Structure 1
Amino acid sequence: MHEVRGVVARSKGAPVSVETILVPDPGPGEALVQVQACGVCHTDLHYREGGINDDFPFLLGHEAAGVVEAVGDDVRDLAPGDFVILNWRAVCGTCRACKRGEPWYCFATFNATQKMTLADGTELSPALGIGAFAEKTLVAAGQCTKVDPSTRAAAAGLLGCGVMAGLGAALNTGNVSRGKSVAVIGCGGVGAAAIAGSVLAGAGTVIAVDIDPRKLETATKMGATHTINSAEEDPVAGIQALTEGHGADVVIDAVGRPETWKQGFYARDLAGTLVLVGVPTPDMRIPDIPLIDVFGRGGALKSSWYGDCLPTRDFPMLVDLYRQGRLDLDAFVSEEIGIDDVEAAFEKMHHGDVLRSVVIF
C-alpha cells in the first residue's frame, strides 16, 4: 500500500481538498504509475460540480503522464520505468465495436479493479477511471500508452484528454483534409486544439469563433486564418462571408450548448459536417430546427467521443509530431502549478485566463 497526497472532491460544489490517499500495489491487469504531470481539465470541474454523477468522493485528475512504477504479475507489454500517457480508453478487444474493427468506439473499456481510498478506508471514485491529481495512481495496464521518454511530461499529458479531444475532433471525427474550410466555435483548450488539428491536416480556411478576444488571439497563434468575435457579430453570417457565402465544410462546436450547436448547424456548407466535442450538461436539449432543414442541408451531424482516438495509434504519432516541431503542445501549457493550487486553477479556467494549468509532481 502506498500513502500519497491527492486532490479530492468530497461533495457537490465544495472546494477540493488535498488529502492522504492510499494506493494499492497493482494486481492482475493493473499498473502503478508515478504521476509527473496532470492537466486541470473542465471535466474535473464537472465532477466537482456533480455534472458527471454523484459517486462522491472523487479523486480528480486524468490528463496525465508519468512513469510506471510496478505492474501486475500478468502484465506483459508494460514494465517499470516506461514513460506513459494515461488514457481513459483502454480497449477491451472483445466488445461489438472492437470486433467490427472500430476500437476507438470501445464500449467496455478497462479500469483498475482495486479501489484507491482515503486514509479512513472510504473508497474513491477516480475521475475517468484515472485519478491523477495524486503522486501515484492505480490504473488498468491498458490505460498506459508508452511514448518517447524524452517528451516533456507537462505537454505529453495533455494528450490524455482535452488536447486529444480537440485534435481528434478535426482529424478523426471531422475528417478535415487538405483545402477544406473549418470553423471552430469556442477557442478554449479543446477548441484551440481543434484549430491546431485542422492546420495539421492542411485545411485552407480556418475560422476561430469566440466571445473572448484573448482566446481569438491564441487561436491565431495556433494557425487560425480568420477570427470572429461572436459577441459583436453573427457568427453564422461571418462564417458564410469568409467561405464565399457557402458555409464551412466542417464546423466544430467546442462549447457544447444548444445555441452554439444551432450556429454550427447553419454555418455549414451543404453536405457539410458538424462535430460536437464540447460537453453539454444533462438538461440541455437539441434546439428547435425544422426537420426539412436537416434533410435539405444534408451532410453529417456527429459527436466526438475523446476525439474518436485510439491511444495506441494516436498518442505516439502525435508525440512524434511534437518532437519534430510540427505540433506545438507546449503552447497549451499556460502555467505549471503545485498540487495545492488546483482550486485556484479551476477559477482561472472558469474566467478563461488559461488554456491549461498543469500540476507538476
Structure 2
Amino acid sequence: MPQQVRGVIARKPGAPVELTDIVVPDPGPGEVVVSVAACGVCHTDLTYREGGINDEFPFLLGHEAAGTIESVGAGVDSVAVGDFVVLNWRAVCGSCRACKRGRPQYCFDTFNATQKMTLTDGTELTPALGIGAFAEKTLVHAGQCTKVDAAADPAVAGLIGCGVMAGLGAAVNTGNVGRGDSVAVIGCGGVGDAAIVGARLAGASTIIAVDRDQRKLAWAADLGATHTVDATTTDTVEAVQELTGGFGADVVIDAVGRPETWRQAFYARDLAGTVVLVGVPTPEMRLEMPLIDFFSRGGALKSSWYGDCLPERDFPMLIDLYQQGRLPLDKFVTERIGLDEVEQAFHTMHQGNVLRSVVVL
C-alpha cells in the first residue's frame, strides 16, 4: 500500500521550504522504494527552490543520498530488499547511441521512476534530480541505486551521489589528471574541494586552490592543495603561472561556472592544457573571446557531466578508498541536521560556513 511519510518540499519560487506529509506509492516495474538514511544539502536543491532549474513546482527536494532498499517492483534484479545503496541521478539506459558505443557515462537517455510521489491531496511532486530524498522514504528507478558496503557512514556515503562525484570525477575522469601534473581549481566549495581530493589521488604534484574566502582556502589546503591563491588580492592567471614555472597548469578546473572564472581557467592553463567546466552556469551567461586564442593555445576545453562517472563502477570504488583511509570524505561533513533544519541549512550554505550540511534520518 502507498505510504505516508515526511518530506521537505518547495511550493513556489523563493518561498521557505516546508516539512510536510507526502505519499510514496508502491514501486512499479523497475522501481524501488528507498528508506533514506542521510541526504546532503546541495546548492542544486537551493537552485530548485529558487526556480532556477524549471517551474515544475512543488518540488520534493534532496538528491545527495544513501539509504536501504525497502521494497522492489516487478523485474528488478540489480538490487534487493536490504541492500545499502547510494542514489544517483543519471541512471544509464544501456541502449542509446552513447551506451551502444561503450560510453555509458555519457548516456543520452537517462531515466527516473515512472510514478509520481504526491502530497496528501494528490498534487504531484517533482523530485529534485529525479530523486527527492529530503524525505523518510523515496521512490526511484532501480537504475538510480548503486549497492555499496553497508558499513560505510550514510552521511558520508550519500555525498558520493552528487557533489563529491562531480568534483572528483572532473579531475580524474574528465580532466585525466595524472602523476606529476599541475592542477588549478577555481572555486573551493564542496565540488572544488572534491576536485582537489581527486587530483591528489591521481598523483598531481602541484595543486593550486583559488578562492575569495580564506575559510575555503584553509579547507582546500587541509584536503590536499599544495598552494592557495586569494583571488581578492591576487590576479588568478598570474598566480597560477608563477606557481607553475611561468607556463600555466596542465589542468584547470572551473568549479564556479561564471564567464570570468572560465576565462581565468582558459588563460591559466599551459599550452595544450585542459580546461574542465564543472560549475554550472545560468542560461543568460555569455562569453566573448578572440577565436585566435582558442586556435593558438590548443589543448582541450571540456564540460564535466556528473564527473563523467559510471555509478556502478565509481561509487563502490570511492567507498573502498574512503574505508582504506585514502579518501577523506568525512571532512566534507560539516554538520548533521534534521529534516526540519533544511531551510536554515540553505542560509548557512549561502554564507559559506559549511562544505556540507547533511540531513540524517
Structure 1 segment 62-211 matched on structure 2, within 5 A:
62-211=63-212
Deviation (angstroms), 1:77: 2.0
Following TM superposition, by how much is the alpha carbon of 1:285 offset from its aligned partner in structure 2, in angstroms? Answer: 1.1
Counterparts of 1:256-275 in structure 2 under 5 Å? Answer: 256-275=257-276
How far 1:78 sits from its partner (Å)? Answer: 1.1
- Give the counterpart letter for 2:324 in structure 1: Q
Give the Cα separation in 1 of the matches to 2:53 and 2:105: 21
Amino acid at match of 2:247: H
Q: Which amino acid counterpart does residue 351 of structure 2 have in structure 1?
A: H
Residue 54 (structure 1) aligns with:
55
CA distance in 2, matches of 1:188, 1:351: 12
Runs of 4 or more consecutive aligned structure 1 residues displaced over 2 Å after TM superposition: none
1-structure distance, mates of 2:96, 2:339 = 37
Equivalent residue number for residue 305 of structure 1: 305
The letter of the residue matching 1:79 is: A
1:316 aligns with 2:316: yes
SS of the residue 1:46 aligns to: helix
Per-residue displacement from partner, 1:244-295 (whole Å, max 9, x unpaired)? 0000000000000011000001000000000000011111112x21000000
Superimposed CA distance per residue, residues 115-167 of structure 1 (whole angstroms, 9 cap, x where no aligned partner) = 00001100000000000000000000000000000000000000000110000
Per-residue deviation, 1:113 = 0.5
Report how far residue 73 of structure 1 moved. Answer: 2.0
**What is the RMSD of the two structures over their aligned residues, measured on CA atoms?**
0.5
SS of the residue aligned with 1:164? helix
Identical amino acids, percent of aligned pairs = 74
CA–CA distance in 2 between the matches of 1:118 and 1:30?
Answer: 19
- Please tell me whether residue 344 in structure 1 is matched to residue 344 in structure 2: yes
Cα shift readout 1:100-126 (whole Å, capped 9, x = no counterpart): 110001111120011000011000000
1:35-72 Cα offsets, whole Å, 9 max, x none, are: 00000001001111111111000000000000000001
**Structure 2 residue 289 is the aligned partner of structure 1 residue 289:** yes
Distance between the aligned counterparts of 1:189 and 1:223, measured in 2?
A: 14
Q: Match of 1:35, SS?
A: strand
CA distance in 1, matches of 2:231, 2:78: 49
* SS class of match (1:352): coil
Residue aligned with 1:317, SS: helix
Q: Aligned partners of 1:297, 1:349: CA distance in 2, in Å?
A: 37
Deviations 1:214-267 (A, max 9, x none): 000000000100000000110100000000000000000000001100000100
Counterparts of 1:98 and 1:168, CA distance in 2: 19
AA paired with 1:256?
G
Paired amino acid for 2:311: P
Alpha-carbon distance in structure 2 between the residues aligned to 1:73 and 1:255: 42
Q: Deviations over 1:295-321 (max 9, x none)?
A: 000001100010000000000000000
Structure 2 unpaired stretches of 5+: none
Gaps of at least 5 residues in structure 1 are none
CA distance in structure 2 between the aligned counterparts of 1:31 and 1:185, rounded to whole angstroms = 38
Are 1:355 and 2:327 counterparts?
Answer: no
Q: Distance in 2 between matches of 1:16 and 1:261?
A: 32
Tell me how far apart the structure 2 counterparts of residues 343 and 305 of structure 1 sit (CA, whole Å).
27
Aligned residue identity for 1:335:
E
Q: Hey, what does 1:222 align to over in structure 2?
A: 223
Q: How many angstroms apart in 2 are the aligned matches of 1:73 and 1:233?
A: 58
| CA–CA distance in structure 1, aligned partners of residues 314 and 165 of structure 2 | 9
Q: How many residues align?
A: 360
- Which secondary structure does the structure 2 equivalent of 1:302 belong to? strand
Question: What is the rounded CA distance, in whole Å, between the counterparts of 1:68 and 1:264 in structure 2?
Answer: 42
SS in 1 for 2:71: strand
Aligned residue for 1:228, secondary structure, equals strand
2:307 partner SS: helix
